[in-house]
Amino acid sequence: KNEVEQSPQNLTAQEGEFITINCSYSVGISALHWLQQHPGGGIVSLFMLSSGKKKHGRLIATINIQEKHSSLHITASHPRDSAVYICAVRSAVGGTSYGKLTFGQGTILTVHP
Amino acid sequence: DTAVSQTPKYLVTQMGNDKSIKCEQNLGHDTMYWYKQDSKKFLKIMFSYNNKELIINETVPNRFSPKSPDKAHLNLHINSLELGDSAVYFCASRLGGDPDTQYFGPGTRLTVL
């Protein structure tokens, strides 16, 4: 079993819908990242969280450290949000460890017009 | 003004050959990484260098050898290529400290025939 599990693996939505992608992890972490991989292949960092909640435009990321769970929400989804969304955790073991990340398997999001 | 660049973008080669992928970052970051993304889009760390020093070396066959001539460059040399090496290889860099954001290169798609 992977240390980082995402759900769902595939998600299809209609434009305008509210979307939630979940990430659960089984190790102690110092930070959690949400990444977006565009259909063209490029990877962009969306958020880094160590507690609470962050918002950027239509994207909101939350984390519950006690429950070892994070969610990425997209409000008013748009076809251009179609991408693979990847959760990654930075382990707390061995200190900050130069930012070594362990990744979830990704969620493929398709938003139809 | 590409922040993290990789060459080549595509690499098609025969089994048994030796090939290199180059990565350069112009962000002034101290830490660089190589990641492998398999056909199921699963990302896994391979190596990391901090100021030209190897700091992360995951369970990777020793046919893979990273080299960092200076802190702006991290190259990946692969000997005796195998079919299973076919994947997309991403380079990334990180300044260190907070925010702990990693900046990814565009990826190199390696196909071994």
pLDDT tens string, chain B, 113 residues long: the values are: 679 999 999 999 999 999 999 999 999 998 999 999 998 889 999 998 888 888 888 878 899 999 999 989 999 999 999 999 999 999 999 876 656 788 999 999 999 99
Contact between B100 and A99 using a beta-carbon 8 Å cutoff: yes
Q: Which of these, B4, B78, B98, B93, lies nearest to B48 by C-alpha position?
A: B93
Residue B107 has what DSSP assignment? -
Residues of chain B found within 8 Å of residue A87, distances taken between Cβ atoms = none
Q: What distance in Å separates the CA atoms of residue B19 and residue B76, rounded to the nearest whole number?
A: 8
Contact between B104 and A90 using a beta-carbon 8 Å cutoff: no
Mean predicted confidence (pLDDT) in A9-19: 97
Residues of chain A found within 8 Å of residue B104, distances taken between Cβ atoms = 35, 42-45
Helices and strands, number each (H, E), in chain B? 0, 11
Q: What distance in Å separates the CA atoms of residue B2 and residue B59, rounded to the nearest whole number?
A: 30
pLDDT at B98: 58
Confidence check: pLDDT of A28 > 90? no
Confidence check: pLDDT of A94 > 80? no
Residue type at position A53: K
Contact between B55 and A98 using a beta-carbon 8 Å cutoff: yes
Q: What distance in Å separates the CA atoms of residue B104 and residue B67, rounded to the nearest whole number?
A: 18
Which residues partner with B56 through β-bridges? B48
Q: Which of these, A60, A109, A107, A110, lies nearest to A88 by C-alpha position?
A: A107
pLDDT band at residue A1 using 50, 70 and 90 as cut-offs: low
Q: Which of these, B54, B87, B70, lies nearest to B78 by C-alpha position?
A: B87
Residues of chain A found within 8 Å of residue B88, distances taken between Cβ atoms = 41
Could you tell me which chain A residue has the CA closest to the CA of B104? Answer: A43
CA distance A70 to chain B (A): 17
A61: its two tokens: 């990321």
Q: Could you tell me the sign of the dihedral formed by the alpha carbons of B33, A4, B36, A80, in that order?
A: negative
Q: Side-chain half-sphere of A80: how many Cα atoms within 13 Å? A: 2
pLDDT at A97: 56
Structure confidence by residue, pLDDT tens digits, A44-63 = 999 999 899 999 999 999 99
* Chain A CB within 8 Å of residue B103 CB: yes
pLDDT at B52: 83
CB B105 within 8 A of CB B90: yes
CA distance A106 to chain B (A): 7
* Chain A CB within 8 Å of residue B95 CB: no
Mutate to test the interface with B, among A35, A36, A43 (most CBs of B within 10 A): A43
Residues of chain B found within 8 Å of residue A31, distances taken between Cβ atoms = 100
With pLDDT > 70 as the criterion, what percentage of chain A qualifies? Answer: 92
DSSP-derived secondary structure for B77-100: EE-S--GGG-EEEEEEEE--SSS-
pLDDT at A93: 59
Could you tell me which chain A residue has the CA closest to the CA of B108? Answer: A41
pLDDT at B1: 64
Taking one residue from A and the other from B, the number of pairs with CB-CB distance under 8 angstroms is 61
pLDDT at B60: 84
pLDDT at B41: 87
* Chain B CB within 8 Å of residue A93 CB: no
Confidence check: pLDDT of A99 > 80? no
